Amino acid sequence: MIGLLRVELTRLRWRRAVLLLLGAAVAVPAIIFAFLVHDTRPRPDDFTDYDYYYAQLSIVQERTGGSGIAVALILAMLFVLVGTTFVGHDWNTGSMSNQLLFEPRRGRVWLVKAAMLAVVAFVVSLVVLTAYWSGLWAVSVHRNLDLPDHAMVAAYKQGVLGAFFASVAAVFGYALTMFFRSTVATLGVLFGIAAAGGALVGATGLSDHAQAMPWTNYEAYMVGSSTTYDWDCFPNDTVVEHGACETVVTRAESLPYFGVILAVVAVGSVVTFRRRDVP
């Protein structure tokens, strides 16, 4: 098992497209960090009367609704591409059949590739997110900004959660490509979902149910909870100010949401890989 993991890791390092994506996983958060630091720079003395034009750096704000969850989402999207690019090359070149000559147990091959991608995505994302939050902490200390108690503990915890989400995203992209056996087909499906997903959600009425929305569940997973408000109240809804209904989705509720999606894709991927002929 360890030997197979090492082989797959070596094959991953040979993929130029994968290396470019890994480079983007470092470069994009660094660019976001640079812009954030610049936009929250200290105010010049001659602009004291116009404080509202300037935003001050806040670790709590960046974690709960700012760049923190955005950076983690970008990493997850990049690792979806890493997963599909890595295994898509095997199908496009026909090397999958050669690999099965050395290890004919298809279930084991599927699992080893998925495990390797999950580990790489987790480690890279954890390093990047830890560096991101550490950089924001250093800037906050340098600018003598107040840091609430446990603010950095919560930020680093979110980094770990983001790293886990990126590893799941990598496995999702990989599993979907193992099912379609083509990077192009997988990207086409993902693009179609992204393009037509909003219209489909609106047509089916799911937009009225916060628990069914991907972003709501993602925010709940990363932050701890997500609150939405709706003016079309049902009898058992909690009514808050101005007659709006409040819906709270917790992290515990978001886990089955993403878990079911991954399980359905993974099971379908494994079953088709074990039963269909490999060219």
Does 224 fall in a domain?
A: no
Q: Residue 61: pLDDT band by 50, 70, 90 thresholds?
A: very high
Domain count, the chain: 1
* Two structure tokens written together for 134: 């550490």
Per the structure, the complete domain to which residue 93 belongs is given by 2-204
Residue carrying structure tokens 């010049």: 44
Element (H, E) at 197: helix 183-204
User: Which comes out higher in pLDDT, residue 211 or 162?
Assistant: 162
pTM for the structure as a whole: 0.89
pLDDT value of position 96: 82
Q: Residue 207: pLDDT band by 50, 70, 90 thresholds?
A: low
The closest alpha carbon to 262, from 52, 118, 87, 124, belongs to 118
Does 53 fall in a domain?
A: yes
pLDDT value of position 155: 96
CB 217 within 8 A of CB 211: yes
Cα–chain center distance at 67: 13
Q: Residue 55: pLDDT band by 50, 70, 90 thresholds?
A: confident
pLDDT value of position 235: 46
Q: What is the mean pLDDT of the chain?
A: 85
pLDDT value of position 54: 64
Does 121 fall in a domain?
A: yes
Does 259 fall in a domain?
A: no
Does 59 fall in a domain?
A: yes
Taking CA atoms, 234 is separated from 209, 211, 217, 245, in Å, by 11, 15, 21, 8
Average the pLDDT over 155-171 and give the result.
Answer: 97
Average the pLDDT over 176-190 and give the result.
Answer: 90
- In the predicted structure, residue 259 carries a pLDDT above the cut 70: yes
Cα–chain center distance at 88: 20
- In the predicted structure, residue 234 carries a pLDDT above the cut 60: no
Does 93 fall in a domain?
A: yes
Does 180 fall in a domain?
A: yes
The top-scoring range by mean pLDDT among 32-46, 83-97, 170-184 is 170-184
Does 192 fall in a domain?
A: yes
